[in-house]
Structure 1
Amino acid sequence: MEDRFNRHHNYSWVLLNEEPFTDEFKRRTSILTKSEISYGLIPREHWVQPSFIDENRAARARATMVAKNIFHGESVSYRNMCRFNAGFFYKHPLLAQYKYYWRVEPYVTYFCDLPYDPFLYMEENDKVYSFVIALEELGDTVPTLWDTVKKFTREYPQYIAPDNSIDFVSDDHGESFNLCHFWSNFELGSLDFWRSPAYTAFFNTLDLSGGFYYERWGDAPVHSIAASLLLNRTQIHFWSDIGYKHDEFQHCPQGSEHKIGKCSCDPSDNFDHQGFASCLSTWEEVRYPNLTLPDAEDDGEMELETPPLVVEERESSD
């Protein structure tokens, strides 16, 4: 991230953890960047399982998921993390001064130079949420999520955006969840969206249902459904020119974007339209309903909303 992008802009870093960072960790990370780094402790009440959860019921749910061999099915800490990222990270005092954020996870790879400022692009083009990988969620982790979402839409119809992208997350215009979501280990978005009354009502409705612990709701489908319902479709952006990998899933820019970004990834190793669980085509059909898209086997590039290729040096951080 520093080599490919931030050395040109010197945006500050905010690192959060549920336990205090060690002095050794601070020393090692501080030598990797010239930018300011803030180290924050997550408030306990934002991280631990809340008191309204019935632990006996939650334990039975975890045991059922273990029997089904569901990824992280046994983990309370994973559920704590998902709930924190879904409803609390943007409330941390260290983020209060910021309008936009870029979520950077451990064990990810950025393959390409980014010769412009994506924060400026978001601001200048009224983008609120953005992603690089879209895929299907594990159905056994979210069996009642959509029923809870429909409860929210009945109680708060005033918050549904007029030009929403519900058809990205539902194949039957809201009757059921098709499991498509934006993968949230990469997110670049507006903090004001998560702070808004609309998202606050959305998260509170989901949180009080207990689904983060009685099932295993992830922050990715929660964020994705919220963005799809509460934002107009033009406010969501796909970064076709940002090369990215997490676990076995990889987005590698195609055509001229690969060359301009000096990307180190193999263009043929690209989850966009090749993975059986990819939802990018679904997003493209929703975002550009009148556009003829290339076949999955087509190696040609498709330029839809290509940001300007301009490097801007910035001394301040947003």
Structure 2
Amino acid sequence: MATIQRKRLMPKSAFLVKKYRRGIRISFTALCILLTLLFIMHAPSSTTKDATTLNTGTDIASTSAISDPSNKEYLMPFTDKAQKVVHPKDDGIKENAVMVTLARNSDLWSLVHSIRHVEDRFNHKYHYDWVFLNDDEFTDEFKRVTSNLVSGEAKYGKIPKEQFSTPPSIDKDKLSTTLKTMRDNGVIYGDSVPYRHMCRYQAGLFYRHPLLQQYNWYWRVDTDITIFCDIQYDLFKFLRVNDKKYGFILSVSEYEATIPTLWSTTRKFMKEYPHLVHKNNLMKYISDDNGETYNLCHFWSNFEIGSLDFWRSEAYDKYFEYLDQSGGFYYERWGDAPVHSIAAALFLDRSQIHFFDGLGFHHPDFLSCPVEEDIRIQNHCTCNPNRDNTWGASYFCTRKFFLTQNYPLPPGV
């Protein structure tokens, strides 16, 4: 038999109390709705820009919001204060920038380590594209693995054969003699022709690849790198806002045996094109005698971030072509790092070159770790500061860079 639920009559006084409470609940709900509407109407737009960050980039998709929309202030490393830079707030707008990696298919499993570090420490917040370049066709495995790791769009390009082979102008007998001499003298990569192809390509050809033409900024990511610290701001936005064209972390001395005539060739170029040398250059960083000789200091290009437009400039284009025609990339073993460094020091305003601290970086066999403990804690760094090479041995040049720029050294250095 079905159970009949009888409705219990409520006393009149209880009924009035219940009706009164219900009225309060309705009024409170209406008040909450009104306050929410007022907040939405008067809240700042998510695309509001910081006064110091006028933007020329493209909108980030709504599904890829910045992980820190509160734009809270972060501690700045002492070195950033010394360089008088500002850390722009994230405004939800991407810069026209890209990660660039030159790799072979055999580099895949050492490269995934680098990609994972860059994505976890930085790019998962911004989703910048990644361009992979190879002198051969990338395998399906390489594309499948790397495209799954990057948060932006992965693009794969093949380098034209003429850009990754010995130029017709190179005397093969002379090159053969050079290779034997360097091998006998134990010069690192001295007998390697493929290494020469790579150095020449990185020095003056990579930015000419069609896949890179749409971008203004790049971060070169090599295999076997480690990023030890969370990067709390958009590095590309930082470069643009502070008018920086070239950024580095480690600065060391080049192997003199690999570049015996690089400086004399550079001096000839400066004599022929004096108008291309910036008046406020950084000559004192690369020369201890006002340009008579090269002191071998250069920015280690295993971490290199900067302006693609600088490499496309008249000054650098003419400089690279001048060096290339001399044959020094093959008859000697000129590296892309000293070539880029000399160019940045000569053709840029000295204020446009930036030392990045607070990131924590390693590429065998050198390591950078922030000096300040509060910076390491804030950025969740996992590096041991006692292993830092930045300020130590005489063959490191970061101290020279700071002294040349008239920056005070970090406390304790």
TM over 0.5: yes
In structure 2, C-alpha distance between the alignment counterparts of 1:54 and 1:98, rounded to whole Å? 36
In structure 2, C-alpha distance between the alignment counterparts of 1:150 and 1:257, rounded to whole Å? 41
In structure 1, C-alpha distance between the alignment counterparts of 2:144 and 2:230, rounded to whole Å? 26
Paired residue total: 295
The structure that has the greater radius of gyration is 2
Query: Which residue in 1 is equivalent to 2:322?
Result: 205
Query: Which residue in 1 is equivalent to 2:3?
Result: none
In structure 2, C-alpha distance between the alignment counterparts of 1:173 and 1:34, rounded to whole Å? 46
SS in 2 for 1:39: strand
Q: Which structure has more RCO (C-alpha within 8 Å, separation ≥ 6)?
A: 1
1:159 alignment partner, one of 261, 264, 276: 276
Structure 1 residues 207-222: aligned runs within 5 Å: 207-222=324-339
Query: Which residue in 2 is equivalent to 1:286?
Result: 404
1:55 alignment partner, one of 172, 177, 201: 172
SS in 1 for 2:354: strand
How far is 1:268 from its partner?
1.3
Cα separation, partners in 2 of 1:8 and 1:294, compared to 1, 3 Å: closer
SS in 1 for 2:391: helix
In structure 2, C-alpha distance between the alignment counterparts of 1:34 and 1:247, rounded to whole Å? 26
In structure 1, C-alpha distance between the alignment counterparts of 2:409 and 2:394, rounded to whole Å? 17
Structure 1 residues 1-318: aligned runs within 5 Å: 1-255=118-372, 256-288=374-406, 291-293=407-409, 298=412
How far is 1:200 from its partner?
0.6
How far is 1:34 from its partner?
2.8
Corresponding letter in the other structure for 1:277: Y
SS in 2 for 1:274: coil
Give every structure 1 segment of 4 or more consecutive aligned residues whose post-TM-superposition deviation is greater than 4 Å: none
In structure 2, C-alpha distance between the alignment counterparts of 1:110 and 1:247, rounded to whole Å? 13
Pairwise CA RMSD: 1.0
How far is 1:276 from its partner?
2.9
How far is 1:201 from its partner?
0.8
Corresponding letter in the other structure for 2:369: C
SS in 1 for 2:120: coil
Runs of 5+ in structure 2 lacking a partner?
A: 1-117
* TM-score normalized by the length of structure 1: 0.91
SS in 2 for 1:293: coil
Tell me whether 129-138 or 247-256 shows the greater mean CA deviation.
247-256
How far is 1:29 from its partner?
1.0
Query: Which residue in 1 is equivalent to 2:91?
Result: none
In structure 2, C-alpha distance between the alignment counterparts of 1:34 and 1:140, rounded to whole Å? 41
User: Cα deviations across residues 128-156 of structure 1 (Å, max 9, x unaligned)?
Assistant: 00100000000000000000000110010
In structure 1, C-alpha distance between the alignment counterparts of 2:246 and 2:223, rounded to whole Å? 21
Corresponding letter in the other structure for 2:402: E
User: Cα deviations across residues 8-55 of structure 1 (Å, max 9, x unaligned)?
Assistant: 000010000111100011111122123210011011111111000101
SS in 1 for 2:330: helix
How far is 1:174 from its partner?
0.3
Runs of 5+ in structure 1 lacking a partner?
A: 300-318
Give percent identity, aligned residues only.
48
Matched-pair contact (CA < 8 Å) for 2:130–2:150: no
How far is 1:257 from its partner?
2.1
User: Cα deviations across residues 193-219 of structure 1 (Å, max 9, x unaligned)?
Assistant: 000111011101111110000000000
In structure 2, C-alpha distance between the alignment counterparts of 1:200 and 1:33, rounded to whole Å? 31
Corresponding letter in the other structure for 1:293: L
Corresponding letter in the other structure for 2:376: H
How far is 1:294 from its partner?
5.1
